[in-house]
Amino acid sequence: MKINEAYHVPVLLHESVDGLALQPNSVVVDVTFGGGGHSQYILSKLTNEGFLYAFDQDEDANSNAISAPNFKLIGGNFKFIKNHLFALGVKKVDAILADIGVSSHQFDIADRGFSFRSPAPLDMRMNQKATLTAAQLLNQGSEAELLRIFNSYTDLPNVFRLVQTLLVVRQQQPFETTDQLAKLCEPLAQRGKDHKYIAQVFQALRIEVNDEIGALKKLLEDAVELLNPGGRIAVISYHSIEDRLVKNFFKKGNFEGTEVRDFYGNLVRPFSEITRHPLVPSEAEVLSNNRARSAKLRIAQLQ
């Protein structure tokens, strides 16, 4: 089956999958199936004695499902990875791959509301069955909630002013569309940096709507229980918030990045790093796929 690159071009494809050190009979989980690019390459490493479970909460990804006896696509959020796998009788796996973030398909379909390139409903739900949209978050969120979101998920210098502007505007007219929000942000940005400013505002709302940070933390914690000893996990992230969580958990065994040592002075952590520093796309990959430019790959092995 041909990879659906119109849906999503897999980032750091060989680096991430090869870094899992798969065996022909490995049991693998691709928690972010998308266009199926990483899954296709994983399956090329397996015989029928191996098996690949893939996750995607976006029903649009079903159109890319792979027809193979050793493949199963699970429609669900990877933060429930244990529940789904346990229900299938799967207690342990050998490798986990996660390409965190929004697929090209989700960005390109205007009605999904992930992009501000054209007017669209302020949606941003990866799972269309979820109830909370970005519009609801903006219209109903308290001042404290909005301050937390933009302080946590952006590095904007004027978050308080942004939130106060949002609160005033929504009293006059509820937020409904992407262009409405983008126009509000333009005068708040530094001259010439309005695109970057708006992108951060949209990113923060998307992260909150989809509980992306909570899902990533849950995945990393569950991986400790799911992986066989010596099993590997590869995570591709696209912004510093996610990468810091992955780095801290792999290096120190917790999300805060604090060292915990046992009686003998040994660092207490479940993983050992395969990549001491994140792998990034080559210049050639970035030229062919601009959306890969901010990607960082970290790989670790369960001790």
- DSSP string of 8-69? -PPSSHHHHHHTT---TT-EEEES--TTSHHHHHHHHH--TTSEEEEE-S-GGGGGG----T
Q: For residue 111, is it within any domain?
A: no
**What span, in angstroms and rounded, lies between the C-alpha atoms of 116 and 28?**
36
- Per residue in 258-289, pLDDT (tens digit) is 999 999 999 999 999 999 999 999 999 999 99
Q: What is the mean pLDDT of residues 234-250?
A: 97
By three-state DSSP, how is residue 62 classified? Answer: helix
Q: Model pTM?
A: 0.93
| Phi, psi of 230, rounded to the nearest 5 degrees | 85, -5
Please indicate, yes or no, whether residues 77 and 194 belong to a single structural domain of this protein: no
Residue 197 near residue 185, CB atoms below 8 Å: yes
Q: For residue 88, is it within any domain?
A: yes
User: Which amino acid is located at 17 in the chain?
Assistant: V
Instruction: Give the residue from 209, 231, 250 where a domain finishes.
Output: 209
| Phi, psi of 15, rounded to the nearest 5 degrees | -60, -40
* Among candidate residues 202, 180, 198, 181, the one with its CA nearest the CA of residue 189: 198
Please indicate, yes or no, whether residues 97 and 85 belong to a single structural domain of this protein: yes
- Per residue in 244-260, pLDDT (tens digit) is 999 999 999 999 999 99
Residue 76 near residue 102, CB atoms below 8 Å: no
Q: For residue 112, is it within any domain?
A: no
Instruction: Give the residue from 209, 233, 256 where a domain finishes.
Output: 209
Please indicate, yes or no, whether residues 41 and 190 belong to a single structural domain of this protein: no
**What span, in angstroms and rounded, lies between the C-alpha atoms of 145 and 155?**
16
Please indicate, yes or no, whether residues 251 and 265 belong to a single structural domain of this protein: yes
**What span, in angstroms and rounded, lies between the C-alpha atoms of 39 and 49?**
16
pLDDT of res. 114? 85
- Provide the number of structural domains found in the chain: 2
Please indicate, yes or no, whether residues 228 and 290 belong to a single structural domain of this protein: yes
The Cα-based distances of 222 to 75, 145, 271 in angstroms read 18, 28, 13
Place of tokens 């969120």: 141
The answer on pLDDT for 4 being more than 60 is no
- Domain enclosing residue 205, as ranges: 131-209
Please indicate, yes or no, whether residues 88 and 159 belong to a single structural domain of this protein: no
Please indicate, yes or no, whether residues 136 and 176 belong to a single structural domain of this protein: yes
Q: For residue 224, is it within any domain?
A: yes
Q: What is the mean pLDDT of residues 34-55?
A: 96
For 129, the token pair is: 């069955």
Please indicate, yes or no, whether residues 201 and 226 belong to a single structural domain of this protein: no
Q: Which domain CATH number covers 53? A: 3.40.50.150
Please indicate, yes or no, whether residues 86 and 220 belong to a single structural domain of this protein: yes
Residue 37 near residue 8, CB atoms below 8 Å: yes
Q: For residue 120, is it within any domain?
A: no
Please indicate, yes or no, whether residues 225 and 77 belong to a single structural domain of this protein: yes
- Per residue in 123-156, pLDDT (tens digit) is 999 999 999 999 999 999 999 999 999 999 999 9
Instruction: Give the residue from 192, 209, 226 where a domain finishes.
Output: 209
Q: For residue 116, is it within any domain?
A: no
Please indicate, yes or no, whether residues 88 and 55 belong to a single structural domain of this protein: yes
Please indicate, yes or no, whether residues 75 and 94 belong to a single structural domain of this protein: yes
